[in-house]
A and B are shown apart, each in its own frame.
Chain A
């Protein structure tokens, strides 16, 4: 019989590891042993709880108390006061808002059904390294249902009807993408999961893989069944050590349980997954560049058409989907297209995972319905702006756009943002307070593009270098009005001529910086001053 009365959930992800989560865990186990509590109180490792920059995070259940910034020295106090005497340690308690998916779990089962718990529902609650725990929360049920009750065409139909759109940035309808590849007779076909998350400010895919890797594998198996692929690859960036290890373990466990491999669920369908490590190139997030990298070469994008769906990896039909996109699939199969469509907005259904950072009180990860406003995300979930008033947010990473105060109430989804020539992109929201300088940020972003341009097409290779040079002139007090005009014209030309999204993207940040902060840029040009005293006006120091 189980004697367990309390669970201590400790969040183990890259962020908490940096803060020393292992030391806290070891100390916790040692003290529980010492107090003879180790059979009643179970320490469980989980993925992220959505709280960032607050050190080691632990959650005590069923008391529903979250502690942040926990050090090994605090452990004894928590054990003595809370675990032994039932008195929570107030000074360590987290008082901010917690990720909605985690909150939803704490409500009753009935409430849970109404909540937006699609991608991150299990993260921070189950042990990501235990396939049994994933199965206990209906894991792999969707795969079973897909393989035994549906034909591949039906799966594509459900996903089409659900309105799921690619979460990597472009927002292309997922079902439609699959439907191009599914009818092709050319074998083998491949499914590639794009986990080369390089968009600055984005780390949602890392936390999905660290927190719930089986959900991704399940989504991949369903997608592979739909398009008729027997082999899948996950291309993970080389820096994501924990993601790689956890996903690798998940693959091995799934193989042992027969959930990957030959003849899954006796359906005759076979599918296996292999992890491939990236080596540090932003452009490899572009699907054709990623395919070239998988083949072992330079990550240069290819000319489209032919699209990868027809001729991709080793010239075979290949579907490339983002981690978050694939992680949405199991819930859609399990609950149906109508259920998914009921979440979010009319043309952008479902939820969106955002990483929110910069000048906010509670940086972190949230999953909310599509269409949630920027204002709600910043003030309701991230605790508001830190260190001054709101100036703007860079939404969508370097390939995104600046949104200023007047954009706070725009509904965030693919179409509403599109109306303002902005993008949802990867879901990174970098909040800047009024103490920050737009010219400094613009120069930084343009340096990034220059650095990451692969050099294959001239508009991007030459254009990104020129754009950085012009921004650097303004930054160092040598800019002219013509420089700004040239930046606008040049980036616009690049947006229509560059081979891939990398060279097309600078237009958006330059255009929105000019639109919302023209005065500030002109101040740098005409008066040669940076009012925030950030730009180094006497000749810039080149990196």
Chain B
């Protein structure tokens, strides 16, 4: 099973916790870590469950809720905000029919707000999975979403 294979890659040291969480989340079809995952990690690292849970819930990149196939992370830090990320957010809500923190019923997209992505030269910007998209405008955004829906990207 996948989880066991991932754990086997690591030495059982507490400083590997974050990496294990990352890896297990990446291997999950729904982009999250389950309670069961966290229990098994706690066993493996010989840590209390509370410590694993505390760490997993602390970092915004790790989710405890099932998420869509693609996670959209729109930046709304001051530079992107100044360049119009609010209207991009409105458009994303419209286009996807969901609010921040929610997942579309077809499990294709989850919409999240993220802090500064460090690509402010091309604000407003967002990340979909590992890909960064900048200089967003309504036309560009619709095209990107369409491409994901049709599986072109």
Contacts and interface: CB of A to CB of B under 8 A. Distances in A.
Task: Give the residue among B14, B82, B117, B132 with the most A Cβ atoms within 10 A.
Answer: B82
Interface stretch (B1-9, B102-110, B122-130, B145-153): B122-130
Contacts of A296: 13-18, 55
B61 A444 contact: no
Contact of B82 (A14, A52, A430): A430
A201 B59 contact: no
Contact of A430 (B79, B130, B133): B79
B22 interface: yes
A239 B134 contact: no
B91 interface: no
5 contacts: A17-B132, A239-B118, A241-B130, A365-B121, A430-B120
A15 interface: yes
B74 to A, nearest CB: 10
B64 to A, nearest CB: 13
Contacts of A454: 58
B62 A441 contact: no
B116 A279 contact: no
Interface of A: 14-15, 17-19, 52-53, 197-203, 206, 237-241, 277-282, 293-299, 355, 357-359, 363-365, 394, 397-398, 428, 430, 432, 436, 440-441, 444-445, 447-448, 451-452, 454, 543
Given A280-B60, A297-B54, A363 B121 contact: yes
Contacts of A15: 119, 121-122, 134
A357 B58 contact: no
Contacts of B130: 241
B116 A199 contact: yes
A18 B132 contact: yes
A187 to B, nearest CB: 19
A238 B71 CA distance: 15
Nearest to A52: B121
B133 A282 contact: no
A357 B123 contact: yes
The 8 closest A-B pairs by CB, nearest first: A52-B121, A279-B59, A200-B77, A296-B17, A203-B118, A280-B60, A280-B61, A200-B116
Contacts of B113: 543
Contacts of B22: 238, 277, 279
B83 interface: yes
Given A281-B60, A445-B78, A198 B55 contact: no
B79 A200 contact: yes
Contacts of B125: 18
Contacts of A365: 121
Contacts of B28: none
A23 to B, nearest CB: 15
Given A200-B115, A237-B118, A18 B133 contact: yes
Nearest to A197: B118
Given A238-B61, A436-B82, A202 B118 contact: yes
Contacts of A53: 121-122, 134-135
Nearest to B57: A298
Nearest to A394: B78
How many chain B residues sit at the interface, stated as a range, is: 35 or more
Interface of B: 13-19, 21-22, 51, 54-55, 58-62, 76-79, 81-83, 100, 113-123, 125, 127, 130, 132-135
Given A52-B121, A279-B60, A298-B54, A201 B79 contact: yes
A240 B76 CA distance: 18
A279 B61 contact: yes
B78 A200 contact: yes
Given A277-B18, A543-B76, 18 more contacts: A14-B118, A18-B132, A18-B134, A198-B115, A200-B115, A201-B116, A206-B118, A279-B21, A280-B59, A280-B60, A296-B14, A297-B55, A365-B121, A397-B78, A428-B120, A445-B78, A448-B77, A454-B58
B94 to A, nearest CB: 13
Given A357-B79, A445-B78, A201 B120 contact: yes
Contacts of B79: 200-201, 357-358, 428, 430
Contacts of B100: 543
A52 B125 CA distance: 13
A207 to B, nearest CB: 9
A444 B76 contact: yes
B15 A294 contact: yes
A139 B22 CA distance: 35
Nearest to A283: B58
A492 B19 CA distance: 38
A543 B116 CA distance: 16
Nearest to B15: A296
Nearest to A294: B15
Contacts of A18: 119, 122, 125, 132-135
A394 B79 CA distance: 10
A297 B58 CA distance: 9
A159 B82 CA distance: 39
A336 to B, nearest CB: 33
Given A238-B61, A279-B59, A359 B82 contact: yes
A257 B127 CA distance: 37
B14 A297 contact: yes
A480 B128 CA distance: 40
A210 to B, nearest CB: 11
Contact of A279 (B14, B18, B77, B127): B18
Contacts of A398: 77-78
B117 A239 contact: yes
B116 A441 contact: no
Contacts of A240: 118
